[in-house]
Chain A
């Protein structure tokens, strides 16, 4: 093979490799965020076992529910605050209601702040990242179960679990059309 052809082939494969790398940045970013708790990103449900001899401490937990712009649903949690202890499991109920007169699909995206506490917030059951279809006027209650890791750093006295509810009816239809 001519030397120039060899160089060209190497360069073309570098181009293809970098194009794939661009897409690989998406999962890399997710993993990176999960490890560092960046952006308050939290994973889906996890089950964690603890040693019996942990030191539990008190921690205040705040629950925030928020609608993204133009989202018409009523979205609330049964509690706004909770005085919890690390290492104990708790359940909080969230209610979704579609007050419009057409069916809608929604998705709730969680975020834990401060970011450094995010990795210690273990949800054992949650509706996060699941698509919810509600008929007009329909109401739904769903639980979030969680345990705060006893390893939570001492300088985090309060954790906030925020949920933002997005209207994804349109992209849901698009995605189904393209499948």
Chain B
């Protein structure tokens, strides 16, 4: 496991094709990973630009720069693009790059389908964004697209939205099938399940979650389509349907979805914390069981998103207690990360900084989640900025910090050059400070009763909102620095060794930096 794999052995293979066809026809897991990552980066800036419009509008009370109708479109598409366009493809991109190298496989199991599952994504988002230029404007019903807002009262472009969601779902499902088949069938000899790296483990479970819930989402949008065009009444009370049913189906998808967006980040920070603490991860087995428990529990907690919908008390109690139960495996993970760092010989390179921030700030988001899980208290918090603060804490300094940490961690392996450590640390501190300026005050305005999804607010929230907006602008600009750091590392920088990080463990660190186009054509032996 220690020897550098001799890259001369694949002389007889073709290298990458030249020009654009390399990217269009590629079946190479590294190329497809790169495509996914750049696509998600583009979507991050697009969704981020929409967030900037939202924060500019909320900079001061009153109607400022956009109409309420356009504000609704910004709000909806910010959510949709960040969830389906930025976070999910970024994790799939990392999976494509890293999983075959971590398990010692030459490529993904289904390389052609891999190409297809990437290339239908730009099509889906092209369709979604094209609705902005159509009559009636883009989707404006919130990323949760509750019926009847998304059926009876939706703009005519909702049909394009439905089609786009179908394609995104197909892409995720194909990507997940590919990942599971790769992990189950293509591990190097000797790599048993309990020797598998944690990022691979988290993705295996995430892929199962995706396969279980993306078809349900497809079913929900299909029912919407039928209600809108074929006169059925799934969600239409006039025909005996029930709008609350939509919420149940949506959140049956939606709750596992939020774990889909965090589990791979758990895997990434586990690797980074063990590398930079120079200690093996504390409690590997409990980590694996914790991930599996979180995934299983995620299927029986969905109605905590709808406590105020008028459930019987037994339902409220059931969903309250099961939700609180999730804190236990999540707590196990947090304690394992802390124990890994305990008495470790820690150094604070950029990936480690982002990972430590992840542990601290994700825990804040987790704790506000516990507050929201308390059904009687949720009636106060529901649909306020407190909820916005909660899910942004788990998604921005949670999922996105996890992705950024992973990018810094593996970037030298991809480009062959070290990134600029000073700029990386600047990026971290700017992000860390501004993300808290942005999202922490949202707890206060939320508890004071500021409703979410409204383009205006009462005057007493003005100061906090200005602070939030300034924080958001700084955070947005800081990510341009991230783009610069990545570009700089592609074109210049200190040559990285194959190990990259002192004592880094895992098969991906045994191949040269940058990783050759083909790796592990002869499977490595895992002891």
* Contact surface of A with B, Cβ cutoff 8 Å: 3-4, 7-8, 11-12, 14-19, 21-23, 25-26, 29, 33, 36-39, 41, 68, 107, 109, 115-116, 129, 164, 166-168, 171-175, 177-178
What are 13 pairs between A and B in contact, CB < 8 Å? A4-B109, A8-B177, A14-B211, A15-B177, A15-B215, A18-B215, A26-B245, A36-B314, A38-B311, A109-B240, A167-B238, A171-B231, A177-B231
Q: How far is the CB of A29 from chain B (nearest CB, A)?
A: 5
> What is the 8 Å Cβ interface bit string for chain B, positions 94-113, against chain A (1 contact, 0 not)?
00000000000000011000
Partner of B237 from the list A11, A166, A175 (CB cut-off 8 Å) is: A166
Given the complex of chains A and B, what is the CA–CA distance between A65 and B398 in angstroms?
50
Contact assessment for B177 and A29 in the assembled complex, using a CB-CB cutoff below 8 Å: no
Given the complex of chains A and B, what is the CA–CA distance between A170 and B486 in angstroms?
55
A/B pair count, beta carbons within 8 Å: 110
Decide yes or no: A3 and B252 within 8 Å by CB, A29-B245, A109-B240, A166-B238 being known contacts. Answer: no
Decide yes or no: A109 and B238 within 8 Å by CB, A16-B215, A22-B215, A23-B219 being known contacts. Answer: yes
Nearest residue in A to B237 (C-beta to C-beta)? A109
Contact assessment for A25 and B252 in the assembled complex, using a CB-CB cutoff below 8 Å: yes
Residues of chain A lying within 8 A (CB to CB) of residue B230: 174-175, 178
Given the complex of chains A and B, what is the CA–CA distance between A108 and B212 in angstroms?
37
Contact assessment for B239 and A8 in the assembled complex, using a CB-CB cutoff below 8 Å: no
Of A11, A19, A22, A29, most buried by chain B (CB within 10 Å of CB) is A22
Decide yes or no: A21 and B216 within 8 Å by CB, A26-B245, A168-B238, A171-B236 being known contacts. Answer: yes
> What is the 8 Å Cβ interface bit string for chain B, positions 181-217, against chain A (1 contact, 0 not)?
1001110000000000000000000000001111111
Q: How far is the CB of A1 from chain B (nearest CB, A)?
A: 12
Nearest residue in B to A16 (C-beta to C-beta)? B215
Given the complex of chains A and B, what is the CA–CA distance between A18 and B249 in angstroms?
12
Nearest residue in A to B216 (C-beta to C-beta)? A22
Residues of chain A lying within 8 A (CB to CB) of residue B212: 14, 18
Given the complex of chains A and B, what is the CA–CA distance between A37 and B313 in angstroms?
12
Q: How far is the CB of A163 from chain B (nearest CB, A)?
A: 12
Residues of chain A lying within 8 A (CB to CB) of residue B217: 22
Nearest residue in B to A115 (C-beta to C-beta)? B312
Given the complex of chains A and B, what is the CA–CA distance between A69 and B218 in angstroms?
30
Contact assessment for B185 and A4 in the assembled complex, using a CB-CB cutoff below 8 Å: yes
B220 interface residue (CB < 8 Å to A): yes
Residues of chain A lying within 8 A (CB to CB) of residue B234: 26
Residues of chain A lying within 8 A (CB to CB) of residue B312: 36-38, 115-116
A-B contacts besides A22-B215, A22-B218, 18 pairs, CB < 8 Å: A14-B212, A15-B173, A18-B214, A19-B216, A22-B217, A22-B220, A23-B219, A25-B252, A29-B248, A36-B312, A36-B314, A39-B310, A164-B237, A166-B239, A168-B238, A172-B231, A175-B232, A178-B230
B349 interface residue (CB < 8 Å to A): no
